[in-house]
Amino acid sequence: MKNNPLIGVIGAGSWGTALAVLLAGKGYPVQLWGHSQDHLDALINDRENLKYLPGIIFPERLTPVNQLKKAVEGTPIIVMAVPSHAYRKVFLELLPFLCENCKIISAVKGVENASLQTMTQLMAEVIAEHGLSNKKIELGVISGPSFAKEVAQGVPTAVTIGFNNLKTAKEIQKIFVTDFFRVYASRDIIGLEISAALKNIIAIAAGVCDGLGYGLNTRAALITRGLAEIQRLGIALKADPLTFSGLSGLGDLILTCTGDLSRNRKVGLKLGEGKTLAQVKNDMMMVAEGIKTTKSIYDLAQKMNIEMPILEQVYNIIYKEKDCSKAVSDLLKRELKVE
């Protein structure tokens, strides 16, 4: 791979913008695409993302573009940072422009509602259905404890890049790494994606407990038992158990359950304080992936007959309007177990 390949970043929210800034700051030519023309016009004029990531000036090599074709055609590396509910639609639109041997990295922490697929599973299916397997497109994921604002500000951060081919993971690892952004390589794509999706659900639960006024004991117990649920589902999906004690597992879980910048924790916090889900959504400018992913993972757990009591209570709170205090009480009253 040549020294400074063109990189397309699809999704101009906070995370997509942060990764585009990071890569362009290293000298890579980056094309940043967003779905809203008004938003893109603002990015072009302001040279910063005032809506989602204010205060971060774009490096010279970052170019906002208004067409997927411009962002993707002839581009050997593509970063997908669109929400999970829009992922399939956007991927189908850019599919005709993908070049041979390109590497696509999902930066999305969610599972599609309809198919119950992770983003790499979704892309693999779409590529096969459209007869493009001969293009030898490689699919990967970036995951780990990384708030977009802090990454854009250059705060020391560590994440993991996963590809089935470890050689490819190491190639992409070198492209993303900086003196403040440490990157590890992995082959466990499914483990990274399941960890990333589920930690958002546990973070909603942590926020609920904080909103109800419970203490640090409660939060610690919730994180620990939440990790057990993530492991249970992940191992059933053939993930590497060691992934769950790593950056994408325990690392991201701690960050998202405790950090004030966590959108999913804020959702739970407001629910615990007595707001309705409609009110919470109305107050939010950015997407909290955990809301939709709660339904996806609940359906997946039911399909696979995996016991996930915290997930079940979060699902009941969000989709059945269960009282938050009652949900916690029901968790504590469950049959006693051996750890």
Q: What is the pTM of this model?
A: 0.95
Q: Is the pLDDT of residue 282 over 90?
A: no
CB 251 within 8 A of CB 145: yes
SS3 for 198? helix
Domain 193-332 has CATH 1.10.1040.10: yes
For the 7-187 domain, the top CATH level (class) is alpha beta
Distance CA 126, CA 92 (A): 7
Domain with CATH 3.40.50.720 in the chain: 7-187
Strands (E), 137-250: 138-143, 157-163, 181-186
Domain with CATH 1.10.1040.10 in the chain: 193-332
Confidence of residue 318 (pLDDT cuts 50, 70, 90): very high
The model's pLDDT over 14-35, given as tens digits with 9 standing for 90+, comes to 999 999 999 999 999 999 999 9
The residues that are catalytic are 199
Q: Is the pLDDT of residue 108 over 60?
A: yes
Q: Is the pLDDT of residue 1 over 70?
A: no
The model's pLDDT over 37-89, given as tens digits with 9 standing for 90+, comes to 999 999 999 999 999 999 999 999 999 999 999 999 999 999 999 999 999 99
Query: What local confidence, expressed as pLDDT, does residue 299 receive?
Result: 97
Q: Tokens in use for 261?
A: 């910048």
Please give the average per-residue pLDDT across 232-258, as a whole number: 97
The model's pLDDT over 302-311, given as tens digits with 9 standing for 90+, comes to 999 999 999 9
Cα 123–264–199 angle (5° rounding)? 60
Mean of pLDDT over the chain: 95
Query: What local confidence, expressed as pLDDT, does residue 2 receive?
Result: 55
Distance CA 124, CA 105 (A): 12
77 — alpha (psi -120 to 50), left (phi > 0) or beta?
A: beta
Of the given ranges (113-117, 217-221, 227-231, 335-339), which has the lowest mean pLDDT?
A: 335-339
The model's pLDDT over 124-183, given as tens digits with 9 standing for 90+, comes to 999 999 999 999 999 999 999 999 999 999 999 999 999 999 999 999 999 999 999 999
- Number of neighbours of residue 25 by Cβ within 10 angstroms: 18
DSSP assignment, residue 260? T
